[in-house]
Amino acid sequence: MNVPKWLDNVVFYEIYPQSFKDSNGDGIGDFNGIIEKLDYIKDLGCTAIWMNPCFKSPFGDAGYDVSDYLETAPRYGTNDDLKRLFDEVHKRDMHILLDLVPGHTSVEHPWFKQSIKAERNEFTDRYVWTDSIWESPEGMGCIRGISDRDGSCAVNFFSHQPALNYGFYKPNPDKKWQHSTDSEGARATLEAMKDVMRFWLNAGCDGFRVDMAGSLVKNDEDGKGTVKLWQNVREFLDKEFPNAAMVSEWGEPDKSLQGGFHMDFLLHFGPSHYNDLFRCENPFFGGEGDVSEFVRKYVENYEKSEKKGLICIPSGNHDMDRLSRNIHGDNLKIAFAFLLSMPGAPFIYYGDEIGMRYVEGLTSVEGGYGRTGSRSPMQWDNSSNAGFSSAPAEKLYIAQDVSPDRPTVKNQKADENSLYNEIKRLIKIRQTHTALNNRSEIEFVYAEKNVYPLAYVRKSENEKILVIINPSSETVSFESKLALKETVYSFGETAKSDGKKIVASPYSAGFYTI
């Protein structure tokens, strides 16, 4: 498997296109708005973009319900506009991943409209259908009673997202509708998705972040069928697009990397304990939480993935509460000191770099529900709608934070002690020290239950850096014979060492050569 060299030191910026920058005054962000702000992203220090779905869609789930994989949503612009975005990204020596949604489509997709017909056609088996309207797929929701076709169609999440058929790893012989992974229908679905990837890679995108990558093959408890499916995709990519980057939303790096992905996300659901750090009643970065279970699980995954350092820990994303909902003040800076000193590619969710807040009490927009408050328009300056759009405020895609003290890019740039400037500084340090590169190793030095600090060593062939993180209000220490040499980075007071123990001040983070 070819690994694109640019992934070694990449820092991603996630763009939710409808909420980033509106260039034509309709209240919704668009491709031209993103192009306007590419220099901002590059100046922050980010070297690549992950953009959420931008394809044609009825937007029942913010674009994760695709109705045409090969055509952009008109509200964002045309296919040519998207290609121009690719070109502008590349002119700045940056890269861009599109969001691929291979597990389901919208009910408005032409494939589904053909699949619901009673007479057999080439799309009859494109989705997971039971043989009887009275039978639901076990463990899944379903669509039924909307056509003359007898049967119920499985859905992956919302009731308007029919599940595409990649087969069942262990088909039940008593259920003839459970096709094997090498059945004609399952193979046709996979080839159709390769065609989608082929289309956009030829158009100029640099790869994909893949939605729900571990869920494609059904009855696949150990993931073996899905791993094999992605190995098939990897073979195709190695042959035709060897430099295409692939990042999975899977949460099990031992499986995703085996399947041929270059990187995997730690997810806010599942066994990672990611939420212990940022999003729970007492998060670690809130100053009164526990990091030990997160570290235990991280090390387990790190060992399983052969210490390749490809586990990505995002600041947040469109599915999570904003980082600032549970973490405040200086602890946001300390959280980013952690995020930007861990292995794997960092992912910064748009607006997290200025501490944008979760907007409380919003009515659901396009399937957002509790996630809607994390999807509000970017806050650029102090002009109308915080510089996001010239539309009347009531026409904005999602209502903005209306607080008089809402953070903006303009204000944060002007304040040398702002979160924005701290993150910019951290990214620069990360990219100039080999020990902090995405693939450099990590060894945890101190991560005990219900106590602070967190300490770990990052190391490359020619450099070792000890990272000490203390978001608590107490002076803390741990036994260590490590000698602190040069201070590479510090927030708050620098740590002290007497050759037997290291002492870390309250609300501090530091990187030290050893």
Q: What is the pLDDT of residues 20-58, one digit of tens each?
A: 999 999 999 999 999 999 999 999 999 999 999 999 999
Q: What's the rounded Cα separation, in Å, for the pair 490 and 94?
A: 28
Higher pLDDT, 265 or 24: 24
The domains of the chain, with CATH numbers, are 5-101+187-430 (3.20.20.80), 104-163 (3.90.400.10), 441-513 (2.60.40.1180)
Residue 512 has pLDDT above 70, yes or no: yes
Calculate mean pLDDT across residues 413-442: 97
Residue ranges of the alpha helices (H) in 148-291? 184-203, 224-240, 253-258, 275-278
Return the pLDDT at 309.
67
Q: What is the pTM of this model?
A: 0.97
The model's pLDDT over 114-157, given as tens digits with 9 standing for 90+, comes to 999 999 999 999 999 999 999 999 889 999 999 999 999 999 99
Single-letter amino acid code for the residue at 419: L
Cα separation values, 51 from 40, 48, 76, 236, Å: 16, 10, 12, 23
Residue 10 has pLDDT above 80, yes or no: yes
The model's pLDDT over 234-259, given as tens digits with 9 standing for 90+, comes to 999 999 999 999 999 999 888 999 99
Calculate mean pLDDT across residues 425-439: 97
DSSP secondary structure string, 220-234? Answer: -TTSHHHHHHHHHHH
The model's pLDDT over 60-109, given as tens digits with 9 standing for 90+, comes to 999 999 999 999 999 999 999 999 999 999 999 999 999 999 999 999 99
Calculate mean pLDDT across residues 403-426: 98
Q: What's the rounded Cα separation, in Å, for the pair 189 and 350?
A: 33
Return the pLDDT at 305.
84
Helix or strand (DSSP H, E) at 33: helix 31-36
Q: What's the rounded Cα separation, in Å, for the pair 340 and 352?
A: 13
The residues, any chain, with a CB within 8 Å of residue 439's CB and separated by 6 or more, are 8, 308, 309, 310, 343
